[in-house]
Structure 1
Amino acid sequence: MAENTDISSKPNTKEEKIDLTQISLRPLHLSDLDDLMIWTTDEKVPKFCTWEPYTCKEDGINFIENTASKFLWCKAICFKDQAIGCISLTSYSEHDRCRNKSVELGYVLGSKYWGKGIVTQAVRLAVKAAFTEFPYLERVEALVDVENVGSQRVLEKAGFQREGVLRKYLFIKEKTRDIVMFSVILTDPHV
Protein backbone atom coordinates (compact mmCIF):
# COMPACT_ATOMS: atom_id res chain seq x y z
CA MET A 1 0.00 0.00 0.00
CA ALA A 2 1.32 3.44 -0.80
CA GLU A 3 2.21 4.58 2.62
CA ASN A 4 3.25 8.22 2.43
CA THR A 5 1.17 10.59 4.54
CA ASP A 6 -0.21 14.11 4.39
CA ILE A 7 2.13 15.70 1.87
CA SER A 8 1.36 19.39 1.56
CA SER A 9 0.30 20.62 -1.86
CA LYS A 10 2.86 23.45 -1.90
CA PRO A 11 6.39 23.30 -0.55
CA ASN A 12 7.28 25.92 2.03
CA THR A 13 9.11 28.51 -0.05
CA LYS A 14 11.20 29.60 2.94
CA GLU A 15 12.79 26.18 3.18
CA GLU A 16 15.78 25.08 1.13
CA LYS A 17 14.75 23.56 -2.20
CA ILE A 18 15.83 19.98 -2.81
CA ASP A 19 17.81 19.14 -5.94
CA LEU A 20 15.87 16.08 -7.11
CA THR A 21 18.91 14.82 -9.04
CA GLN A 22 20.35 14.03 -5.60
CA ILE A 23 17.55 11.55 -4.90
CA SER A 24 18.58 7.93 -5.35
CA LEU A 25 17.39 4.45 -4.46
CA ARG A 26 19.71 1.83 -2.98
CA PRO A 27 19.55 -1.19 -0.67
CA LEU A 28 19.11 -0.54 3.04
CA HIS A 29 22.13 -1.37 5.20
CA LEU A 30 22.59 -1.69 8.95
CA SER A 31 24.67 1.50 8.70
CA ASP A 32 21.33 3.24 7.86
CA LEU A 33 19.83 2.31 11.24
CA ASP A 34 20.07 5.76 12.85
CA ASP A 35 18.54 7.41 9.76
CA LEU A 36 15.81 4.76 9.55
CA MET A 37 14.92 5.30 13.20
CA ILE A 38 14.23 9.00 12.54
CA TRP A 39 11.32 8.30 10.19
CA THR A 40 10.10 5.01 11.68
CA THR A 41 9.68 6.55 15.14
CA ASP A 42 7.89 9.66 13.81
CA GLU A 43 4.18 9.21 14.65
CA LYS A 44 3.11 11.16 11.52
CA VAL A 45 4.83 8.78 9.08
CA PRO A 46 2.86 5.53 9.57
CA LYS A 47 -0.57 7.20 9.88
CA PHE A 48 -1.91 5.27 6.86
CA CYS A 49 0.46 2.29 7.19
CA THR A 50 -0.15 -1.18 8.57
CA TRP A 51 2.68 -0.74 11.10
CA GLU A 52 2.96 1.39 14.23
CA PRO A 53 5.88 3.74 14.98
CA TYR A 54 8.98 1.85 16.02
CA THR A 55 9.89 2.04 19.69
CA CYS A 56 13.43 0.62 19.72
CA LYS A 57 16.45 0.01 17.52
CA GLU A 58 15.69 -3.73 17.49
CA ASP A 59 12.58 -2.91 15.39
CA GLY A 60 14.78 -1.11 12.87
CA ILE A 61 17.36 -3.90 12.81
CA ASN A 62 14.60 -6.44 12.24
CA PHE A 63 13.24 -4.39 9.33
CA ILE A 64 16.66 -4.06 7.67
CA GLU A 65 17.74 -7.67 8.25
CA ASN A 66 14.44 -9.53 7.84
CA THR A 67 11.39 -7.59 6.69
CA ALA A 68 12.99 -5.73 3.76
CA SER A 69 14.11 -9.03 2.23
CA LYS A 70 10.52 -10.31 2.11
CA PHE A 71 9.59 -7.75 -0.55
CA LEU A 72 10.26 -8.50 -4.19
CA TRP A 73 12.30 -5.30 -4.19
CA CYS A 74 12.99 -2.83 -1.37
CA LYS A 75 15.23 0.24 -1.45
CA ALA A 76 16.11 3.19 0.73
CA ILE A 77 15.01 6.55 -0.62
CA CYS A 78 18.19 8.59 -0.26
CA PHE A 79 19.01 12.27 -0.34
CA LYS A 80 22.77 12.72 -0.71
CA ASP A 81 23.01 9.00 0.19
CA GLN A 82 21.20 9.50 3.53
CA ALA A 83 18.26 7.10 3.96
CA ILE A 84 15.23 9.37 4.42
CA GLY A 85 12.55 6.82 3.51
CA CYS A 86 11.85 3.48 1.89
CA ILE A 87 10.14 2.28 -1.28
CA SER A 88 9.17 -1.29 -2.13
CA LEU A 89 7.53 -3.61 -4.63
CA THR A 90 5.45 -6.54 -3.43
CA SER A 91 4.66 -9.49 -5.66
CA TYR A 92 1.59 -11.66 -5.30
CA SER A 93 2.59 -14.17 -7.99
CA GLU A 94 3.55 -16.90 -5.51
CA HIS A 95 0.04 -16.75 -4.01
CA ASP A 96 -2.02 -15.79 -7.06
CA ARG A 97 -0.91 -16.96 -10.50
CA CYS A 98 -3.45 -14.62 -12.12
CA ARG A 99 -1.47 -11.62 -10.80
CA ASN A 100 2.04 -12.67 -11.80
CA LYS A 101 2.40 -9.72 -14.21
CA SER A 102 1.81 -7.04 -11.55
CA VAL A 103 3.38 -5.73 -8.36
CA GLU A 104 2.24 -3.36 -5.63
CA LEU A 105 4.25 -0.23 -4.87
CA GLY A 106 4.56 1.09 -1.31
CA TYR A 107 6.59 3.91 0.20
CA VAL A 108 7.26 6.00 3.30
CA LEU A 109 9.26 9.18 3.75
CA GLY A 110 10.44 11.13 6.77
CA SER A 111 7.96 13.94 7.46
CA LYS A 112 10.59 16.69 7.28
CA TYR A 113 10.93 15.87 3.55
CA TRP A 114 7.21 15.94 2.66
CA GLY A 115 6.01 18.31 -0.03
CA LYS A 116 9.34 18.63 -1.85
CA GLY A 117 8.81 16.27 -4.80
CA ILE A 118 11.07 13.59 -3.34
CA VAL A 119 8.55 10.75 -3.28
CA THR A 120 7.33 11.60 -6.77
CA GLN A 121 10.93 11.31 -7.98
CA ALA A 122 11.44 8.07 -6.02
CA VAL A 123 8.24 6.60 -7.50
CA ARG A 124 9.41 7.45 -11.02
CA LEU A 125 12.76 5.77 -10.33
CA ALA A 126 11.05 2.72 -8.82
CA VAL A 127 8.67 2.31 -11.77
CA LYS A 128 11.56 2.53 -14.21
CA ALA A 129 13.49 -0.05 -12.17
CA ALA A 130 10.44 -2.33 -11.93
CA PHE A 131 9.92 -2.53 -15.67
CA THR A 132 13.67 -2.85 -16.31
CA GLU A 133 14.64 -5.36 -13.59
CA PHE A 134 11.48 -7.46 -13.93
CA PRO A 135 10.81 -7.55 -17.69
CA TYR A 136 7.81 -9.86 -17.25
CA LEU A 137 5.87 -7.08 -15.47
CA GLU A 138 3.02 -5.35 -17.20
CA ARG A 139 1.59 -3.38 -14.27
CA VAL A 140 2.66 -1.53 -11.12
CA GLU A 141 -0.20 -0.67 -8.80
CA ALA A 142 -0.52 1.32 -5.60
CA LEU A 143 -3.26 1.27 -2.98
CA VAL A 144 -3.85 4.56 -1.15
CA ASP A 145 -6.21 5.41 1.69
CA VAL A 146 -8.97 7.75 0.44
CA GLU A 147 -7.96 10.23 3.14
CA ASN A 148 -4.32 10.28 2.03
CA VAL A 149 -4.70 13.04 -0.56
CA GLY A 150 -0.97 13.84 -0.60
CA SER A 151 -0.03 10.33 -1.63
CA GLN A 152 -2.71 10.35 -4.31
CA ARG A 153 -1.14 13.52 -5.77
CA VAL A 154 2.30 11.89 -5.69
CA LEU A 155 1.09 9.00 -7.81
CA GLU A 156 -0.76 11.22 -10.28
CA LYS A 157 2.36 13.39 -10.74
CA ALA A 158 4.41 10.22 -11.29
CA GLY A 159 2.13 9.15 -14.16
CA PHE A 160 -0.18 6.71 -12.37
CA GLN A 161 -3.84 6.46 -13.41
CA ARG A 162 -6.54 6.57 -10.76
CA GLU A 163 -8.69 3.48 -11.38
CA GLY A 164 -11.32 3.79 -8.67
CA VAL A 165 -12.22 3.36 -5.03
CA LEU A 166 -12.22 -0.08 -3.42
CA ARG A 167 -14.85 0.31 -0.71
CA LYS A 168 -14.12 -1.19 2.72
CA TYR A 169 -11.11 -2.90 1.14
CA LEU A 170 -8.55 -3.05 3.97
CA PHE A 171 -8.77 -3.36 7.75
CA ILE A 172 -5.96 -1.22 9.16
CA LYS A 173 -5.52 0.02 12.72
CA GLU A 174 -8.91 -1.16 13.91
CA LYS A 175 -10.78 0.46 11.03
CA THR A 176 -12.05 -0.77 7.67
CA ARG A 177 -10.69 1.63 5.06
CA ASP A 178 -11.76 2.71 1.60
CA ILE A 179 -8.77 2.52 -0.73
CA VAL A 180 -8.04 4.22 -4.05
CA MET A 181 -6.43 1.97 -6.68
CA PHE A 182 -3.78 3.54 -8.91
CA SER A 183 -1.72 1.89 -11.62
CA VAL A 184 0.78 2.43 -14.35
CA ILE A 185 1.19 -0.16 -17.08
CA LEU A 186 4.18 -0.89 -19.27
CA THR A 187 2.70 0.90 -22.28
CA ASP A 188 1.88 4.10 -20.35
CA PRO A 189 4.23 7.07 -20.66
CA HIS A 190 5.36 6.49 -17.05
CA VAL A 191 8.78 8.11 -16.76
Structure 2
Amino acid sequence: MNYKTDVNFTEVSIRPFAVTDADDFFSWACDDNATRYLRWNTINNKAEALKYLKEVAIPHPWRRSICCADKSIGYISLRPESGSDHHRAHISYAISSKFWGRGIMTSAVKMAIPMAFREFPHVVRIEGLVEDENKASKKVLEKVGFKKEGYLRKYGFNKGKVVDMIMYSFLSTDVLK
Protein backbone atom coordinates (compact mmCIF):
# COMPACT_ATOMS: atom_id res chain seq x y z
CA MET A 1 0.00 0.00 0.00
CA ASN A 2 1.28 3.46 -0.87
CA TYR A 3 0.55 5.41 2.33
CA LYS A 4 0.87 8.73 0.55
CA THR A 5 -1.92 8.08 -1.94
CA ASP A 6 -3.91 4.97 -1.01
CA VAL A 7 -5.86 4.87 2.24
CA ASN A 8 -8.26 2.07 2.97
CA PHE A 9 -10.42 3.60 5.69
CA THR A 10 -11.45 0.17 6.94
CA GLU A 11 -7.82 -0.22 8.01
CA VAL A 12 -7.80 2.94 10.16
CA SER A 13 -7.76 2.12 13.85
CA ILE A 14 -6.60 3.43 17.21
CA ARG A 15 -4.65 1.38 19.72
CA PRO A 16 -2.18 1.87 22.58
CA PHE A 17 1.35 2.79 21.57
CA ALA A 18 4.12 0.18 21.74
CA VAL A 19 7.90 0.59 21.64
CA THR A 20 7.79 -1.11 18.24
CA ASP A 21 6.07 2.05 16.93
CA ALA A 22 9.28 4.08 17.31
CA ASP A 23 10.19 4.16 13.60
CA ASP A 24 6.65 4.96 12.47
CA PHE A 25 6.25 7.56 15.23
CA PHE A 26 9.52 9.22 14.26
CA SER A 27 8.49 9.32 10.59
CA TRP A 28 5.74 11.86 11.38
CA ALA A 29 6.87 13.36 14.71
CA CYS A 30 9.97 14.75 12.97
CA ASP A 31 7.73 16.85 10.68
CA ASP A 32 7.37 20.48 11.79
CA ASN A 33 4.04 20.66 9.95
CA ALA A 34 2.60 17.75 11.92
CA THR A 35 3.83 19.12 15.27
CA ARG A 36 3.15 22.81 14.62
CA TYR A 37 0.20 23.09 17.04
CA LEU A 38 1.47 20.58 19.61
CA ARG A 39 2.84 21.64 22.98
CA TRP A 40 5.79 19.29 22.52
CA ASN A 41 8.62 19.91 20.10
CA THR A 42 9.37 18.10 16.88
CA ILE A 43 11.29 14.86 17.50
CA ASN A 44 14.82 15.06 16.08
CA ASN A 45 16.00 11.43 15.97
CA LYS A 46 14.89 7.83 16.50
CA ALA A 47 16.41 7.63 19.99
CA GLU A 48 14.35 10.66 21.01
CA ALA A 49 11.25 9.04 19.48
CA LEU A 50 11.80 5.86 21.49
CA LYS A 51 12.37 7.85 24.68
CA TYR A 52 9.17 9.84 24.09
CA LEU A 53 7.17 6.65 23.58
CA LYS A 54 8.60 5.01 26.72
CA GLU A 55 8.38 8.06 29.00
CA VAL A 56 5.33 9.95 27.72
CA ALA A 57 3.07 8.13 25.25
CA ILE A 58 2.95 4.63 26.75
CA PRO A 59 2.50 5.64 30.43
CA HIS A 60 -0.07 8.36 29.53
CA PRO A 61 -3.56 7.65 30.93
CA TRP A 62 -5.08 7.58 27.43
CA ARG A 63 -2.81 8.26 24.47
CA ARG A 64 -3.46 6.12 21.41
CA SER A 65 -1.72 5.60 18.11
CA ILE A 66 -3.79 6.34 15.03
CA CYS A 67 -2.95 3.57 12.60
CA CYS A 68 -3.47 2.74 8.97
CA ALA A 69 -2.88 -0.96 8.34
CA ASP A 70 -1.35 -1.02 11.86
CA LYS A 71 1.28 1.57 10.86
CA SER A 72 1.34 4.49 13.33
CA ILE A 73 0.48 7.69 11.46
CA GLY A 74 -0.56 9.94 14.35
CA TYR A 75 -1.92 10.08 17.87
CA ILE A 76 -5.03 10.97 19.82
CA SER A 77 -4.96 11.71 23.51
CA LEU A 78 -7.49 12.30 26.27
CA ARG A 79 -6.40 13.52 29.66
CA PRO A 80 -8.97 13.54 32.47
CA GLU A 81 -8.69 16.34 35.00
CA SER A 82 -8.31 15.53 38.68
CA GLY A 83 -9.94 16.59 41.94
CA SER A 84 -13.18 18.55 41.65
CA ASP A 85 -12.64 18.83 37.88
CA HIS A 86 -12.48 15.05 37.30
CA HIS A 87 -15.68 15.23 35.23
CA ARG A 88 -13.72 16.91 32.39
CA ALA A 89 -11.08 15.62 29.98
CA HIS A 90 -9.00 17.36 27.32
CA ILE A 91 -8.52 15.99 23.82
CA SER A 92 -5.49 16.50 21.60
CA TYR A 93 -4.33 14.90 18.38
CA ALA A 94 -1.95 15.08 15.44
CA ILE A 95 -1.44 13.15 12.24
CA SER A 96 1.27 12.87 9.62
CA SER A 97 0.94 15.67 7.08
CA LYS A 98 0.90 12.95 4.38
CA PHE A 99 -2.60 12.05 5.59
CA TRP A 100 -4.13 15.51 5.95
CA GLY A 101 -7.46 16.22 4.29
CA ARG A 102 -8.66 12.61 4.03
CA GLY A 103 -11.03 12.41 6.99
CA ILE A 104 -8.75 10.11 8.97
CA MET A 105 -8.55 12.40 12.01
CA THR A 106 -12.32 12.86 12.01
CA SER A 107 -12.72 9.06 11.95
CA ALA A 108 -10.17 8.64 14.76
CA VAL A 109 -11.91 11.21 16.97
CA LYS A 110 -15.26 9.48 16.32
CA MET A 111 -13.69 6.17 17.42
CA ALA A 112 -12.02 7.70 20.49
CA ILE A 113 -14.97 9.56 22.02
CA PRO A 114 -17.14 6.54 22.96
CA MET A 115 -14.05 4.61 24.08
CA ALA A 116 -13.03 7.45 26.39
CA PHE A 117 -16.49 7.80 27.93
CA ARG A 118 -16.55 4.03 28.60
CA GLU A 119 -13.04 3.95 30.09
CA PHE A 120 -13.58 7.11 32.19
CA PRO A 121 -17.23 6.84 33.32
CA HIS A 122 -16.86 9.89 35.61
CA VAL A 123 -16.03 12.10 32.59
CA VAL A 124 -19.09 13.88 31.21
CA ARG A 125 -17.33 16.60 29.21
CA ILE A 126 -14.46 16.47 26.72
CA GLU A 127 -12.86 19.80 25.91
CA GLY A 128 -10.88 20.70 22.84
CA LEU A 129 -8.77 23.86 22.84
CA VAL A 130 -7.74 24.82 19.32
CA GLU A 131 -5.50 27.65 18.21
CA ASP A 132 -7.60 30.11 16.26
CA GLU A 133 -5.49 29.78 13.11
CA ASN A 134 -5.76 25.95 13.09
CA LYS A 135 -8.67 25.71 10.66
CA ALA A 136 -8.27 21.96 10.05
CA SER A 137 -8.57 21.07 13.73
CA LYS A 138 -11.63 23.28 14.17
CA LYS A 139 -13.21 21.52 11.19
CA VAL A 140 -12.48 18.06 12.69
CA LEU A 141 -14.17 18.88 15.99
CA GLU A 142 -17.16 20.49 14.30
CA LYS A 143 -17.61 17.49 11.95
CA VAL A 144 -17.64 15.13 14.95
CA GLY A 145 -20.25 17.19 16.82
CA PHE A 146 -18.21 19.26 19.26
CA LYS A 147 -19.90 22.57 20.12
CA LYS A 148 -17.96 25.81 19.79
CA GLU A 149 -18.24 27.59 23.12
CA GLY A 150 -16.03 30.61 22.92
CA TYR A 151 -13.05 32.58 21.78
CA LEU A 152 -10.28 32.83 24.38
CA ARG A 153 -8.03 35.79 23.68
CA LYS A 154 -4.32 35.27 24.37
CA TYR A 155 -5.16 32.07 26.23
CA GLY A 156 -2.56 29.53 25.16
CA PHE A 157 1.21 29.45 24.91
CA ASN A 158 2.83 27.46 22.13
CA LYS A 159 6.29 27.45 20.60
CA GLY A 160 7.29 30.73 22.24
CA LYS A 161 4.18 32.80 21.63
CA VAL A 162 0.86 33.55 23.30
CA VAL A 163 -2.06 32.61 21.06
CA ASP A 164 -5.82 32.98 20.83
CA MET A 165 -7.74 29.74 21.34
CA ILE A 166 -11.22 28.44 20.60
CA MET A 167 -12.96 26.27 23.23
CA TYR A 168 -15.01 23.30 22.00
CA SER A 169 -16.85 20.69 24.04
CA PHE A 170 -18.52 17.34 23.62
CA LEU A 171 -20.76 15.98 26.37
CA SER A 172 -21.46 12.35 27.18
CA THR A 173 -25.09 13.07 26.25
CA ASP A 174 -24.20 14.52 22.83
CA VAL A 175 -24.57 12.45 19.67
CA LEU A 176 -21.67 11.86 17.27
CA LYS A 177 -22.33 13.18 13.78
Q: Smaller-chain TM-score range? A: over 0.9
Output the CA distance in 1 between the equivalents of 2:66 and 2:169: 21
AA paired with 1:167? R
Contact 1:71–1:89 under 8 Å retained in 2: no
Q: Please report the RMSD computed on the Cα atoms of aligned residues, expressed in angstroms.
A: 1.4
Q: Provide the residue aligned with 1:135 in structure 2.
A: 121
1:30 aligns with 2:19: yes
Q: Deviations over 1:2-40 (max 9, x none)?
A: xxxxxxxxxxxxx84633222111111111111101111
In proportion to residue count, which structure has more helix?
A: 2
- TM-score, structure 1 as length reference: 0.86
Q: Per chain length, whose mean CA-contact separation is higher, i.e. which structure has more relative contact order (CA < 8 Å, sep 6+)?
A: 1
Q: Provide the residue aligned with 1:78 in structure 2.
A: 67
Flag the 1:142–1:70 CA change in 2: closer, same or farther, 3 A.
farther
Structure 2 counterparts to residues 1-191 of structure 1, below 5 A: 16=5, 18-93=7-82, 97-190=83-176
Deviation at 1:121, TM superposition (A): 0.5
AA paired with 1:139? R
Contact 2:80–2:123 under 8 Å retained in 1: no
Output the CA distance in 2 between the equivalents of 1:141 and 1:18: 29
AA paired with 1:164? G
Contact 2:75–2:94 under 8 Å retained in 1: yes
Equivalent pairs, count: 174
- TM-score, structure 2 as length reference: 0.93
Give structure 1 stretches of 5+ with no counterpart: 1-14
AA paired with 1:23? V
Contact 1:27–1:74 under 8 Å retained in 2: yes
Give structure 2 stretches of 5+ with no counterpart: none
AA paired with 2:33? K
SS of the counterpart of 2:110? helix
Output the CA distance in 2 between the equivalents of 1:136 and 1:91: 9
Q: Deviations over 1:90-144 (max 9, x none)?
A: 1221xxx231111001101000000000000000111010111111110111110
Contact 2:117–2:172 under 8 Å retained in 1: yes
Output the CA distance in 2 between the equivalents of 1:41 and 1:180: 26
Deviation at 1:72, TM superposition (A): 2.1
AA paired with 2:48? D
SS of the counterpart of 1:142? strand
